[in-house]
Amino acid sequence: MTRTERPTQSKLGPSSGTTRHLLPQGEGEKQVRSPLSRGGRHATQGAGSTEVFNWPIRVYWEDTDAGGVVYHGAYVRFFERARTEYLRSLGAEQSVLLRDRGIVFAIVGMDLRFDAAARLDDQLEASCELVERRGVSLKFIQVLRRVDDNVRIARASVRAACLDAASFKPRAIPEDVFVRRNNFPAGVSG
């Protein structure tokens, strides 16, 4: 495993500036320079040449139980934030899709595994990798790691379905929804 510098925000506020931290990278990964690298977001290229989107998360009191350990339901929110920002980076802002296209993405399946505990004030990084695109659904693999020691905290396999906002019935993902469609990982197509 190699170590590389990646820009991350020291705080999650807009005026916090950017600092540099050393983060271990998995074997077969390399840093990819892209528009996703602004503001603490990163894209890395995995060995399978799929894009991995990373989003910084800080653990707050509201995320923990009385002992300062992250409550299990908070991990679902952390993964949701990373998926939402990943889709936004691809040009699929969910509020715009609802307003202009009458579609929503709903989670229809999630397999969530816990590997270690996150605690109050931990700086985490949630990754999101699109691994499959079908006519009406997307499948993501997500991993949550603690930044300081690169310990894997949790992992999830998530399926999101495209639904008609009025009827909540499955609807084909329109081909032009993702403005930056060329950013879809190699081998992931409709």
Which of 65, 100, 121, 148 is the catalytic position? Answer: 65
| 65 catalytic per annotation | yes
Residue-wise DSSP of 43-82: EEE-TTS-EEEEEEEE--GGGB-TTSBBPHHHHHHHHHHH
Compute how many other C-beta atoms are within 10 angstroms of the C-beta atom of residue 90. 20
C-alpha 42/C-alpha 49 separation (Å) is: 15
Q: What angle do CA 116, 185, 180 make, to 5 degrees?
A: 115
Q: Confirm if 107 and 160 have CB atoms less than 8 A apart.
A: yes
State how far Cα 178 lies from the chain centre.
Answer: 16
Active site residues: 65
